[in-house]
Amino acid sequence: MATTNDLKNGIVLNLDGQLWSVVEFQHVKPGKGGAFVRTKLKNVLSGKVVDKTFNAGVKVDTANVDRREMTYLYRDGDEFVFMDTDTYDQIHVPVETVGDAQNYLLENRNAVVGLHDGVPLFVELPASVVLTIDYTEPGVQGDRSSGGSKPATLETGYEVQVPLFITTGEKVKVDTRDGSYLGRAG
């Protein structure tokens, strides 16, 4: 048990038997009346996002989520196979659970998998990853200063926008939260 004052991003709450991950929260102290906490919650299984307001200091039931470092091995149909780096146990994670992380997942790279009673809830990647550009159109000569961008296909098959000077085969750093280009990677 925790109170709404203990809320943090990523904490998982058990509300009415459903698991909800805290995406955003904000403590609000109005001039009149009691303080409250405004939250944006994401249903761990369905992915549905809702806004919920709690009075400050109210007890909330937190779910015990086991966050484990795992290595992504391969894709098997509509499931991703991960291996626990400690026990070498393999688990199958449905494509819906992996979500947008699949755009940045490479075989034999590590990710954090959140489990609740042995059921995979989410896959968490680092804030940024380094991936190779599989294909992008050549930049137009003399168009360097305009600051424009062009589409580029990453080695995972996902397409991102990159500056015009980036070429096929280069390694780039990509933000895993929104797919934005962060820079060249050495």
What phi and psi, each to the nearest 5 degrees, are found at residue 153? -95, 125
Architecture of the domain spanning 2-60: Roll (2.30)
Bridge partners of residue 72, in order along the sequence:
82
66-124 and 128-184 agree in CATH topology: yes
What phi and psi, each to the nearest 5 degrees, are found at residue 144? -75, -30
- What pLDDT score was predicted for residue 23? 87
For β-strands 36-43 and 90-94, DSSP reports them as unpaired
- With residue 31 as reference, give the H or E element that holds it: none
For 96, the 3-state DSSP assignment is helix
The distance of Cα 29 from the centroid of its chain, to the nearest Å, equals 30
Q: In this model, does residue 47 exceed pLDDT 80?
A: no
Domain 66-124 in CATH 3.40.50.1820? no
Domain 128-184 in CATH 2.40.50.140? yes
Alpha carbons 63 and 70: distance in angstroms, whole number: 21
pLDDT, tens digit (0-9, with 9 covering 90-100), for 54-81: 998 899 999 888 889 999 999 999 999 9
pLDDT, tens digit (0-9, with 9 covering 90-100), for 110-136: 999 989 888 888 888 988 999 999 999
